Amino acid sequence: MEYDLVFEGGGAKGLAFVGALKEFERRGHRPRRLIGTSAGSITACLIAAGYSSEENLAAIAEKTPDGRARFATFMDTPTLYDDTIVRDQMGYWLRTELDNPDIPNLIEPVVDNLIESLVKLPLFRHLTSLFLYGGWYAGDAFIAWLQEKLDAGGRNLSTTTLTEFHEKTGRDLSVVASDLTGKEMLVLNHRTAPVLPTMWAVRMSMGCPFAWQEVVWKSEWGAYRSRDLSGHRVVDGGLLSNFPIGLFVTSDENIDEIMGENVNSENVIGLLIDETLEVPGAGQASTQTLSAPSLLNRVDLLEAMIVRIHGLAETVLSAHDKFTLSKYKHLVCRLPAQGIGTMEFDMAQPRQEAVIRAGEAAMATFFS
């Protein structure tokens, strides 16, 4: 049987999706339409690209040569080396502060040397990225990873627009993002944003505010529902809808225009990360797993603040999802995630296996 699948955001907790999908596949079911928010958009995109649950697990659990989780590299340091805005703004400010009619010839080399020194400091680059672009991390490593996964196995999907992705895969993929400039929720798919690159749609959706840089909509990405969003700042869809099951179970002219006609709203499964449900056998996260990358240990309090701000925003703005959830709870598969950290990418193998088993059991219970 075919089902529309909804994937909630949840960072590393999304490992539970793997177990749920294993049970889903074992029963012979197939995905129809897919929608995801934040980290859930990554899973939705990979499934739409033809990834099985086992291939999803391999992608999520991938390690770097030095043994780190590949996902942990998404917390990357911005470069800023070629950022003319940063250099120009810094140069103007420093020249103004150092301006002295008695030493006019000395200012230029002093300023240039100071700028060169500052942009090499990781802490300065993170702070500049946060203040100018709204995110502590760059997000470039994620784009590189997704490009690799979308091209793997001869798929050659990394350069596709949402329309081309739909045509090549036959899958109906939607991801949710938040337009900070327009103050609205965006549902990105081949109907609403036909020439938007697939990779950038997912990057927008997973871009947790303050953690990753905001994505600025480029003019060459075309319109969103016939409206020009050029220059708009777009971030994590979880800010406005972390569990968009309502888009599959309600129908009106506006929703049908965005999602296509909801022909059978009962053939929907919402995969919900439930932090109130215990993960049997998961144990405790190691201290090493929970720590920030060594490069950033000096600013771990600032990183913690960023995570807390995002958590507060999600809590305040999740009322709409909670209302929909209560109305359609019979369509929701609750995946245990108690004690699993959102940024716990370097999870120990036994803990990973426990989360996956819990996801399998949850899906089996859903179908029973």
Give the pLDDT mean for 151-174: 98
Alpha helices in the chain (DSSP H): 15-26, 39-48, 53-60, 84-98, 104-118, 122-133, 140-151, 162-169, 198-206, 246-249, 253-259, 287-290, 300-316, 319-327, 349-367
User: Is residue 153 in some structural domain?
Assistant: yes
Asked which of 137, 157, 182 is the last residue of a domain, the reply is: 137
Q: What is the largest CA-CA distance in the chain?
A: 83
Asked if 283 and 316 sit in the same domain, the reply is yes
User: Is residue 150 in some structural domain?
Assistant: yes
Asked if 189 and 218 sit in the same domain, the reply is yes
User: Is residue 298 in some structural domain?
Assistant: yes
Asked if 234 and 301 sit in the same domain, the reply is yes
Q: Tens of pLDDT along 29-66? A: 999 999 999 989 999 999 999 999 999 999 988 988 98
User: Is residue 264 in some structural domain?
Assistant: yes
Residue 109 in this model has a pLDDT that exceeds 50: yes
Asked if 93 and 225 sit in the same domain, the reply is no
User: Is residue 112 in some structural domain?
Assistant: yes
Q: Shortest CA distance to 43 belongs to which of 29, 53, 33, 28?
A: 53
Asked if 147 and 282 sit in the same domain, the reply is yes
User: Is residue 285 in some structural domain?
Assistant: yes
Asked if 179 and 213 sit in the same domain, the reply is yes
Q: Shortest CA distance to 30 belongs to which of 8, 14, 47?
A: 47
**Residue that wins the pLDDT comparison between 8 and 68:** 8
Asked if 170 and 130 sit in the same domain, the reply is no
Q: Tens of pLDDT along 211-239? A: 889 999 999 999 999 999 999 999 998 88
Asked if 130 and 195 sit in the same domain, the reply is no
pLDDT at res. 251? 79
For 340, the domain range is 2-74+139-367
**Percentages of the chain per state (helix, strand, coil), in multiples of 5:** 50, 15, 35
Asked which of 93, 116, 137 is the last residue of a domain, the reply is: 137
pLDDT at res. 248? 92
Q: Tens of pLDDT along 186-196? A: 999 999 999 99
Question: How many domains does the chain divide into?
Answer: 2
User: Is residue 339 in some structural domain?
Assistant: yes
User: Which element (helix H / strand E) includes 268?
Assistant: strand 268-274
Q: Angle formed by the axes of helices 15-26 and 39-48, to 10°?
A: 30
User: Contact at 8 Å (CB) between 259 and 187?
Assistant: yes
For the chain, the average pLDDT equals 85
Top-confidence range, 113-117, 148-152, 257-261, 279-283? 148-152
Asked if 35 and 108 sit in the same domain, the reply is no
What CATH number is given to the structural domain containing 226?
Answer: 3.40.1090.10
Model confidence band, residue 292 (pLDDT cutoffs 50, 70, 90): very low
User: Contact at 8 Å (CB) between 160 and 197?
Assistant: yes
Asked if 110 and 240 sit in the same domain, the reply is no
Asked if 216 and 147 sit in the same domain, the reply is yes
pLDDT at res. 128? 83
Asked if 249 and 339 sit in the same domain, the reply is yes
What are phi and psi for residue 291, nearest 5 degrees?
Answer: -75, 155
Asked which of 121, 137, 153 is the last residue of a domain, the reply is: 137
User: Is residue 79 in some structural domain?
Assistant: no
